[in-house]
């Protein structure tokens, strides 16, 4: 068994959230180097124990008290012991991508029939509570990069987003054809919901953006056909038909202007009534 004299991790890129040092064979007197933007956590027998902040640390019973209490290290000398050493990346990651794996089926009361909503965007996060993150997310993995973290949380993101879109359409009466104009306000509301959920796992959500909410092209064509036939048959009033048909024709324009601020018409208040935070 070769005891480790110096422990250090220089990440080759910024994709990893956590990384486990390959050896557990340590000793009193080993040096642990923690770079800026990192933390180190010791794990023994599944228990998350002592935490080291940036700096160069010479291991002693004084700076690993929780581990010392667990294994009762003798004072002084170069006593060997074993423990997992986890490096935590504390930097912010802003460009994580998310997207609906399948369309969200929503009843659009303005149109009068169900639509298949798709959505995508980006989110950013950082590890705020290293102990909580390692305990709940990492488990027995040797590392966790941004793709693993995104895969873990994508279900939560899609569930919250589905509720938000459905509430906007059904409670606030925003048709899927007009929802692009409200992306900024919807993004802000979604961000607040995500923050409450992710806090439980030791993560801080620093940004959450909805870049697009749309429907498949073939579904758009069917909607256009329905209203064209309705116009021809004159089954609806000119005001009703004209308004809906105009919304369809301007859908592409609204999508192109997705980054323009919302007009602040009170969507958040309606959403707050329909989707509880927490």
Which of 121, 123, 125, 119 is closest to 101 using CA atoms? 119
Token pair listed for 27: 């000793």
To 5 degrees, how large is the angle CA 251–CA 256–CA 257? Answer: 100
Write out the two tokens for 246: 């105009």
Residue 131 near residue 41, CB atoms below 8 Å: yes
| Alpha-carbon torsion angle 214, 174, 191, 275, nearest 10 | -120
Three-state secondary-structure class, residue 17: strand
Average pLDDT value for residue range 223-230: 79
Task: Evaluate if residue 175 carries a pLDDT over 70.
Answer: yes
Q: What is the pLDDT of residues 20-75, one digit of tens each?
A: 999 999 999 999 999 999 999 999 988 899 999 999 999 998 999 999 888 887 76
**Second-level CATH architecture of 93-274:** 2-Layer Sandwich (3.30)
Q: What is the pLDDT of residue 278?
A: 47
Mean per-residue pLDDT, 235-241:
51
d(CA 166, CA 116): 11
pLDDT of amino acid 34: 97
What's the pLDDT tens digit per position in 69-128?
Answer: 888 877 656 789 999 999 999 999 888 899 998 899 998 888 888 899 999 999 999 999
Q: Which residues contact 20 (CB under 8 A, 6 or more apart)?
A: 84, 85, 86, 87, 141, 142, 143
Query: What pTM did the predictor assign?
Result: 0.75
Domain locations along the chain: 6-89, 93-274
pLDDT digits (tens, 9 = 90+) for 29-44: 999 999 999 999 999 9
Q: Give the separation between CA 177 and CA 254, rounded to whole angstroms.
A: 8
Q: What is residue 71's predicted lDDT score, i.e. its pLDDT?
A: 84
């Amino acid at each position: 068994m070769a005891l480790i004299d110096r422990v250090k991790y220089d990440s080759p890129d910024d994709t990893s959230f956590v990384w486990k040092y390959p050896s557990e064979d340590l000793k009193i007197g080993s040096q642990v180097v923690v770079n800026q933007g990192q933390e180190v956590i010791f794990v023994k027998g599944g228990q998350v124990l002592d935490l080291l902040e940036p700096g160069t640390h010479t291991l002693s019973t004084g700076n690993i008290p929780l581990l010392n209490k667990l294994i009762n290290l003798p004072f002084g000398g170069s006593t060997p012991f074993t423990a997992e050493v986890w490096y935590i990346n504390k930097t912010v990651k802003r460009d994580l991508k998310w997207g609906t794996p399948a369309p969200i089926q929503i009843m659009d009361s303005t149109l009068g029939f169900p639509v298949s909503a798709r959505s995508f965007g980006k989110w950013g996060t950082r590890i705020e509570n290293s102990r909580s993150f390692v305990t709940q997310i990492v488990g027995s993995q040797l590392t966790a990069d941004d793709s693993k973290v995104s895969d873990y949380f994508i279900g939560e993101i899609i569930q919250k987003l589905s509720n938000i879109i459905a509430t906007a359409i059904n409670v606030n009466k925003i048709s899927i054809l007009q929802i692009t104009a409200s992306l900024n306000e919807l993004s802000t509301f979604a961000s607040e919901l995500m923050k409450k959920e992710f806090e439980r796992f030791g993560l801080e959500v620093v940004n959450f953006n909805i870049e697009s909410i749309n429907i498949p092209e073939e579904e758009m064509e069917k909607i256009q056909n329905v209203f064209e036939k309705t116009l021809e048959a004159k089954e609806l009033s000119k005001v009703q038909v004209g308004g809906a048909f105009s919304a369809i024709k301007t859908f592409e324009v609204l999508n192109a202007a997705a980054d323009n601020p919302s007009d602040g018409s009170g969507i958040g208040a309606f959403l707050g009534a329909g989707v509880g935070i927490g």
